[in-house]
């Protein structure tokens, strides 16, 4: 049953939102980096630890069975959330970064010198560095796709970049800096026509858009739980059955094997083939709790709420002299990156913190994008389910005060 969307009631479920920072009520606008945790997630982890903790899959005693059931319930929650065909398509990782490294490691065995990996300049470092490994170690060629003036992806350049040598297109579904939402389904059609695979980085999109991996048609999709009000140290790698069948294991150890002998081994089936060793048990249970909590709400209402906050902030910033907003593509998500002439982003963030306002400042693990924008860093405010219009107003007022101090 869908729950009534009431931001005041939602805020009461996040204990940290009651605290003060520097004598001011906390205004947390760093959600794109990591979101806060509701009681449902905190309690799920604590209760499992208190009442029914054991290792999963291998035991036959009661505690192991109960923990395994709760752990696999987290996988089912993720399968349902992403509309994956089955739980076999959902691999638990420690985050999106490990998921991308897993895919790059699997691809490395087939890469020949001159094979191409296509990336956009808006990618997070997690979706750049593993492909540089293939460039350094396997002789792969990285092909970069640029942006239009509004921060949208240059789709003509994308079409031109994908060709007979393309092995992988790795693309953010939604930029963590610009908020730009990329047409993963169309990129997938272009890539598949050329015989290439597609990996989508869904860390931001999964929170703000709603994701159907079957409709997107990508081969791989990665996501980190801490962006969706869940724990750190847990993520999801979705893979199609075909992609998973082609990929060799990323790590060796317990659980990922079927048999081990002195002269041979045979591997377990997916997803266990890619989950060597004791997994992040409590984190997976916490992720399941986060997904179930989040899905109580009508996702269109959540998106409308976040978009309204972004629009309020965007309009409020129009009156700030010397301020530039980076990324204004149509349909963008609720991420607001900006620069203020004469003020370093780090100084802005420090002054805003005096007023209890938490924003991000830096290159946001997106240095190629900073180069494209012609800046070394930006400030970023990002909005979540528990943020309010009053908090947006506090942010704008604090920014005006910071400008008066710095410019």
Catalytic machinery residues? 365
Closest CA to 166 of 240, 209, 122, 219: 219
Give me the count of residues in the chain: 407
How far from each other are the two terminal CA atoms of the chain, in whole angstroms?
Answer: 51
Task: Taking each helix axis as running N to C, give the angle between helix 281-294 and helix 62-82, from 0 to 180 degrees, rounded to the nearest 10.
Answer: 40
Strand partners, 168: 117, 197
CA distance 218 to 307: 26
Closest CA to 223 of 209, 213, 237: 237
255: helix, strand or coil: coil
**DSSP type of residue 302:** H
CA distance 327 to 325: 6
Q: Tokens 């959902």 label which residue?
A: 90
CA distance 274 to 139: 26
The token duo for 239 is 């893979």
DSSP string computed for 192-217: HHTT-EEEEE-TTHHHHT---HHHHT
What are the backbone angles phi and psi of residue 87, rounded to the nearest 5°?
Answer: -70, -20
Closest CA to 32 of 359, 388, 398: 359
The token duo for 200 is 């989508």
């Amino acid at each position: 049953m869908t729950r009534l969307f009431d931001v005041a009631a939602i805020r009461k479920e996040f204990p940290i939102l009651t605290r003060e920072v520097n004598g001011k009520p906390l205004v947390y606008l760093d959600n794109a980096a990591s979101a806060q945790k509701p009681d449902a997630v905190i309690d799920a982890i604590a209760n499992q630890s208190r009442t029914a903790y054991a290792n999963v899959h291998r035991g036959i005693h009661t505690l192991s069975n109960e923990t395994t059931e709760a752990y696999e319930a987290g996988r089912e929650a993720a399968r349902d959330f992403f509309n994956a065909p089955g739980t076999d398509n959902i691999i638990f990782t420690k985050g999106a970064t490990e998921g991308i490294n897993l895919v790059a490691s699997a691809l490395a065995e087939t890469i020949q010198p001159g094979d191409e990996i296509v990336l956009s300049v808006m990618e997070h470092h997690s979706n750049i560095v593993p492909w540089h490994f293939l460039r350094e170690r396997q002789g792969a060629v990285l092909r970069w796709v640029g942006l239009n003036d509004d921060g949208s992806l240059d789709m003509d350049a994308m079409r031109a970049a994908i060709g007979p040598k393309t092995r992988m297109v790795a693309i953010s579904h939604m930029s963590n800096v610009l908020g730009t939402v990329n047409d993963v389904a169309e990129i997938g059609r272009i890539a598949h026509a050329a015989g290439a695979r597609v990996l989508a980085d869904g860390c931001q999109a999964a929170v703000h858009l709603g994701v159907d991996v079957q409709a997107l048609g990508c081969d791989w999709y990665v996501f980190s739980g801490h962006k969706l009000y869940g724990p750190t140290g847990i993520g999801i790698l979705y893979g199609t059955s075909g992609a998973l069948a082609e990929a060799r294991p990323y790590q060796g150890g317990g659980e990922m094997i079927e048999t081990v002998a002195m002269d041979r081994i045979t591997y377990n089936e997916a997803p266990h083939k890619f989950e060597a060793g004791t997994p992040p048990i409590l984190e997976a249970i916490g992720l399941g709790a986060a997904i179930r909590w989040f899905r109580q709400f009508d996702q269109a209402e959540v998106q409308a709420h976040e978009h309204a906050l972004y629009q309020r902030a965007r309009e409020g910033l129009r009156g700030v002299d010397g301020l530039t907003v980076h990324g204004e593509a149509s349909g963008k998500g609720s991420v607001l990156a900006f620069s203020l002439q004469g003020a370093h982003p780090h100084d802005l963030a420090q002054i805003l913190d005096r007023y209890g306002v938490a924003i991000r400042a830096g290159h946001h693990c997106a240095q190629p994008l900073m180069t494209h924008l012609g800046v070394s860093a930006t400030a970023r405010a990002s909005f979540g389910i528990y943020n309010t219009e009053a908090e947006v107003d506090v942010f704008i007022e604090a920014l005006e005060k910071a400008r008066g101090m710095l410019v």
